[in-house]
Amino acid sequence: MIQAHTNETPSVSINIRAKAKQRDLIDQAAERLGRSRSDFMLEAACREAEDVLLDQAFFTVDEGTFAQFQTLLDQPLPPTDKLRRLLKTKAPWDQ
């Protein structure tokens, strides 16, 4: 998450254009959280940026750890009623 530091460099301006409906939606959500529009938008944008960057992170592990990971992936889950129900459930986008 974003951490505020007291000795940060000066703030810079970020300008974006939005439709009135988008602005109103953002304002409504920001108000519910007691935040300003700018704080709300900056926090949401930074959270999404962090997710994008973390999704593309490359992790390295030693051979033993990778072998353990591979073994876990190769082991099928035990057949349970909950798993059967899950596998029979249609995805929301297929309904």
pLDDT band at 45; cut points 50, 70, 90: very high
Burial class (CB in 10 A: 0-12, 13-18, 19+), 43: middle
pLDDT given at position 58: 83
pLDDT given at position 5: 52
User: From the centroid of its chain, how far is CA 88?
Assistant: 27
Rounded to an integer, the average pLDDT of 26-55 is: 95
Residues 3-12 have pLDDT tens digits of 555 567 889 9
Residue corresponding to tokens 């530091």: 5
Global confidence as pTM: 0.54
Cα-Cα end-to-end distance for the chain? 36
Sequence-ordered alpha helix ranges (H) in 1-94:
20-32, 37-55, 63-74, 81-88
Residue 94 is encoded by which pair of tokens?
A: 């297929």
Nearest to 15 by CA among 35, 32, 38: 38
Residue 79: pLDDT over 90: no
Q: What percent of the chain has pLDDT over 70?
A: 93
